[in-house]
């Protein structure tokens, strides 16, 4: 018979860690998506030459491992700027910029996927740039960008496990704490994986539903 020292209080501790994971992910994805849309539109409108400085900065966030970004940002705010930010705030800031760098590329690809002839036809009918973006680019580009965006959101959720380096007790860190105390690594990691599955499964199903619905239109 399987015996474990895991108590209801320990499960609640893991659930709180999962809650922190969800909150960090939601804040980072929301802010990162807004910034990513802004950066993506700027890159398309200004062209590759004028937007080169912005592209270079975004490439840095895409290229440097997230773990290093978190450590450097925490040291920069604390030691250079003398700002005593909590680990939670630092994690959200870094993850938001990290998300925006990838989201900008997704947005750029979604806009470029809209045929130029379609956009020219819209402008020839008297549509303004804003109307073109709202009525033409947004509906068509979203269909192209949504699967990649959902993949990004799921990736950020899993990458949030790295925020332990700035003293944020999210799901994986909570699991590690219990492993140290209870010495049941396999069982606790299975529970941790189940929590991650419960968080990510609805997002993945939503993406599949939207793709099926749009493909049938």
**What tens digit of pLDDT does each residue of 120-169 get?**
887 787 888 888 888 888 888 888 888 889 889 999 999 999 999 998 99
**Interval 59-96: pLDDT, tens:** 999 999 999 999 999 999 888 888 888 999 999 999 99
Model pLDDT, residue 215: 62
Q: Which residue has the higher pLDDT, 123 or 31?
A: 31
Identify the burial level of 74 via C-beta atoms within 10 angstroms of its C-beta, where 0-12 means exposed, 13-18 middle and 19 or more buried: buried
Give the mean pLDDT of 33-52: 91
**Domain range holding 139?**
23-169
Reference 157, options 66, 73, 85; nearest CA is 66
Whole-number Å distance between alpha carbons of 27 and 17: 16
Please, how many CA atoms are within 13 Å of residue 97, restricted to the half-sphere of its CB? 18
Cα–Cα nearest to 207, from 143, 156, 158, 157: 143
Domains: count for the chain = 1
User: Which CATH number characterizes residue 62's domain?
Assistant: 1.10.3720.10
Whole-prediction pTM value?
A: 0.89
pLDDT of amino acid 134: 85
Instruction: State percent of the chain over pLDDT 70.
Output: 97
Residue 118, in any domain of the structure: yes
Structure confidence by residue, pLDDT tens digits, 2-25:
677 788 899 999 999 999 999 999
Residue 40 lies inside a defined structural domain of this protein: yes
Residue 198 counted as domain residue: no
Domain membership flag for residue 14: no
Sequence length of the chain is: 217
What count of other Cβ atoms lies within 10 Å of the Cβ of residue 105? 21
pLDDT for position 128: 83
Q: For residue 157, which phi and psi values (nearest 5 degrees)? A: -60, -45
Residue 58 placed within a domain:
yes
Instruction: For CA atoms 182, 156, 21, 7, give the dihedral sign.
Output: negative
């Amino acid at each position: 018979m399987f015996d474990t020292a895991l108590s209801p209080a320990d499960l609640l501790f893991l659930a709180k860690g999962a809650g922190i994971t969800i909150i960090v992910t939601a804040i980072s994805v929301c802010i990162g998506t807004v910034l990513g849309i802004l950066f993506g539109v700027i890159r398309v409108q200004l062209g590759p030459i004028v937007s080169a400085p912005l592209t270079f900065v975004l490439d840095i966030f895409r290229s440097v491992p997230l773990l290093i970004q978190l450590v450097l940002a925490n040291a920069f705010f604390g030691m250079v700027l003398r700002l005593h930010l909590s680990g939670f705030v630092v994690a959200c800031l870094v993850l938001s910029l990290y998300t925006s760098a990838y989201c900008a590329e997704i947005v750029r690809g979604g806009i470029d996927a809209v045929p130029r002839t379609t956009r020219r036809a819209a402008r020839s009918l008297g549509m303004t740039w804003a109307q073109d973006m709202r009525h033409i680019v947004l509906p068509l580009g979203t269909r192209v960008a949504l699967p990649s965006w959902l993949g990004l959101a799921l990736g950020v959720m899993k990458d949030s496990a790295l925020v332990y380096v700035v003293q944020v007790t999210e799901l994986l860190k909570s699991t590690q704490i219990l492993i140290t105390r209870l010495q049941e690594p396999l069982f606790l990691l299975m529970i941790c994986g189940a929590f991650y599955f419960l968080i990510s499964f609805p997002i993945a199903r939503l993406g599949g539903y939207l793709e099926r619905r749009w493909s049938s239109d």
